[in-house]
């Protein structure tokens, strides 16, 4: 069941990722628009994402950003949760839940991914299945 669910979630991330322009809202003010330079190298693109805090890397054991981008490591549940939250346009909801709600005992309130995991755990798909769910022991 877990492999099927993970496959479904990853497929959903890929499908929703292709519709990024459909869900994009027009900026209301020029100050809201980031100036995106024309970058050609992969390293320059990654550095721009880091500099603009679009990606912040993994968290350490205390839930604080450690700066490790881990670009060659396997994707983790917190990565999937963040991508799904952005695909659903629920970033503001994640910011509100950050440090307030703890859906799983192994996700600390102070963790940088707490809000994203909280939103993904509280939202359901079209057929009523939670976007992410824990194990039977609650983790």
pLDDT tens digits for 33-49? 566 678 788 888 878 87
Q: Is the pTM of this model over 0.75?
A: no
User: b or e along 95-122 (b: 16 or more beta carbons within 10 Å of the residue's beta carbon)?
Assistant: eebbbebbbbeebbeebbbbbbbbbbbe
Mind listing the pLDDT tens digit for each residue in 72-113? Answer: 778 888 888 888 888 888 999 999 999 898 889 888 888 888
């Amino acid at each position: 069941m877990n492999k099927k669910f993970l496959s479904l979630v990853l497929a959903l991330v890929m499908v929703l990722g292709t519709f990024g322009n459909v869900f994009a809202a027009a900026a209301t003010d020029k100050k809201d628009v980031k100036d995106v330079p024309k970058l050609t190298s992969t390293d320059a693109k990654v550095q721009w994402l880091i500099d603009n805090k679009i990606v912040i890397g993994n968290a350490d054991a205390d839930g604080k950003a450690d700066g490790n981008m881990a670009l060659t490591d396997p994707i983790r549940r917190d990565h999937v949760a963040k991508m799904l939250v952005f695909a659903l346009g629920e970033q503001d909801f994640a910011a509100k839940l950050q440090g307030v709600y703890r859906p799983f005992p192994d996700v600390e309130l102070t963790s940088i991914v707490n809000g994203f995991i909280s939103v993904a755990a509280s939202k359901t798909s079209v057929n009523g299945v939670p976007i992410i769910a824990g194990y039977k022991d609650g983790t």
